[in-house]
Amino acid sequence: MIGRIHSFETFGTVDGPGIRFVVFLQGCNFRCIYCHNPDTWPLSAGSEFSAEETAAMAARYKLYFTASGGGITVSGGEPLLQAKFVTELFRLCRDEGIHTCLDTNGSACCSEELDELMKYTNLVLLDIKHTDPGIHKKITGAANDTVLSFAKYLNDIGKPFHIRSVIVPGLNDTPSYITALKNFCSQFSSLEKIELLPFHKIGEYKWKELGLPYSLGDVTPPSNEKMEELNGILNG
Ligand code: SF4
């Protein structure tokens, strides 16, 4: 089984618990206006690796995973565009006793392929860009009904998951959004954590290199005070 891979990160600490080997897959079906990896969008780019090669690379770091409670995370791009590859990779990793984590935009829900992948997935990081369909479309270019259904699907099958949401000033840095997100999440018993991530402009240069118009050039990342305020509402 061959996958198209954008890049690897060997000591990731922000995409799941502990120290993680992070695989960024090529291809995404969203066009988020703050994406810091727009070079992952074309499915045909990147380099080919087999699931066996990739699992063997991850296995080199098993000592670190064991010591830190870490493992492998597959991110993107959108990994579910290559669901069969991820399934095989996670199956091999689980055979090695490696914890597996999927970071997804939740745009591909409820299929036999997904059920099969979930058998080998320990944890899902589900990115929710917005609970409001109109604002979600403005951020991603796509509808959010499948994303919200994905959270319900994970809960229905009892899969541990985290929800992550990027906070962008002027788009979703409001108490009303955080309250809506909190209310939406309150129905889930297998949801372990909600994370608000501050928007940043680390990938802006990539948009320029690719000749893509970047619409957030004048937007300043949210202040620590703003993030504290929103986290206070979330956890209040
Ligand atoms: S889902 Fe992720 S990779 Fe895809 S466009 Fe959005 S931020 Fe970028």
What is the whole-number distance in angstroms between the Cα of residue 53 and the centre of ligand 1?
25
Whole-angstrom distance, CA of residue 166 vs CA of residue 227: 11
Q: Is the pTM of this model over 0.95?
A: yes
Question: What atom of ligand 1 comes closest to residue 105's alpha carbon?
Answer: 1
Residue with token string 């796509």: 142
Beta bridge partners of 196: 165
With the most atoms of ligand 1 within 8 angstroms of its CB, the residue from 5, 15, 29, 35 to mutate is: 35
What domains, with CATH codes, occur in the chain? Answer: 2-235 (3.20.20.70)
Please report which helix (H) or strand (E) contains residue 48, including its range.
strand 47-50
At 192, the pLDDT band (50, 70, 90 cuts) reads very high
* Atom number of ligand 1 nearest to Cα 40: 3
pLDDT of the residue at 87: 98
Summary mean pLDDT of the chain: 96
SS3 label, residue 4: strand
- Mean pLDDT, rounded, for 201-220: 95
Q: Ligand 1 centre from 37 Cα, in Å?
A: 7
Q: What does the pLDDT look like over 129-152, one tens digit per residue?
A: 999 999 999 999 999 999 999 999
| Average pLDDT over every residue of 102-122 | 93
> Ligand 1 atom closest to Cα of 28?
4
The residue-averaged pLDDT of 85-95 equals: 98
Flag whether pLDDT at 200 surpasses 80: yes
Tell me what pLDDT residue 108 has: 83
Cα within 13 Å of Cα(158), Cβ side: 1
DSSP SS3 for 100: strand
d(CA 78, CA 155): 21
Q: Write the single-letter amino acid at 130.
A: H
* Average pLDDT for 4-15: 97
Q: What is the pLDDT of residue 223?
A: 97
- Ligand 1 atom nearest the C-alpha of 107 is 1
For residue 75, the CA-to-ligand 1 centroid distance in Å is: 10
Question: Residue 109 above 80 pLDDT?
Answer: no
Per-residue pLDDT tens for 152-184? 999 999 999 999 999 999 999 999 999 999 999
Collapsing DSSP states into helix, strand and coil, what is residue 23? strand
Question: Is the pLDDT assigned to residue 95 strictly greater than 90?
Answer: yes
Centre of ligand 1 from the C-alpha of residue 59, in Å? 27
Question: Residue 133 in 3-state DSSP?
Answer: helix
pLDDT of 6 higher than 80: yes
Contact 3, 85 (CB under 8 A): yes
Ligand 1 pocket, 40 CB below 6 A? Answer: yes
pLDDT band at 91 (very low <50, low <70, confident <90, very high): very high
